[in-house]
Amino acid sequence: MYREIATKTLIGKGKLPYYLEKEIHIEDNVSKLLGCWIINLKYYSEYQEKDVRLHGSYSIQLWYASDNDQKSSVYEEQILFDEKVLMAYRSLQTLDDTMFLKVLVSHYPTCVGMNLDENKKITIKIESEFFVDAFQEAILIVQCATKTNDDLSLDEEILMNVNPNYLINKKEEK
């Protein structure tokens, strides 16, 4: 016997590997790069005409030495991103076009490389990875096992599960 069940189910999965190579121009006389941090990641997903897009931003903080290592400073810049997520969908009979998206950050944005060349040009490399699950109201057809035992009546269930001597046993324990 088969039944149709209307439920919210996973209909698609996607993965977004994110890479960025960015040149940074700083007015100071940079002599060394000391470190780079990526902070304040904010993102949201959006479904537009069969495409899933991931929008967001994060801040780069680049710590550097200048004037022949006499001073250090931090350069900060906010990076915006808008990326299309490659999705794979299952074909299911859905009830409507409303899609619910859930984003998981498997690898937060991280600076994986930075370089200062002889022309004082700074290049940083950033990597990140996101996973997206798409849910939709769908009709699932499931196979049901045939019932071999009849349901118990309320009286039969009470007789099987209720101990009529419960209160008497509690008094005897004291």
pLDDT in tens, 56-77: 999 999 999 998 889 999 999 9
Q: Give the torsion sign (CA, 75, 56, 102, 131).
A: negative
Taking CA atoms, 114 is separated from 22, 34, 38, 121, 122, in Å, by 9, 10, 13, 10, 7
Query: How many H helices and E strands in the chain?
Result: 2, 6
**Residue pLDDT, tens place only, 71-124:** 999 999 999 999 999 999 888 778 888 889 999 999 999 999 999 988 888 999
pTM score of the predicted model: 0.74
Instruction: Indicate the Cα dihedral angle 53, 135, 101, 17, nearest 10°.
Output: -60
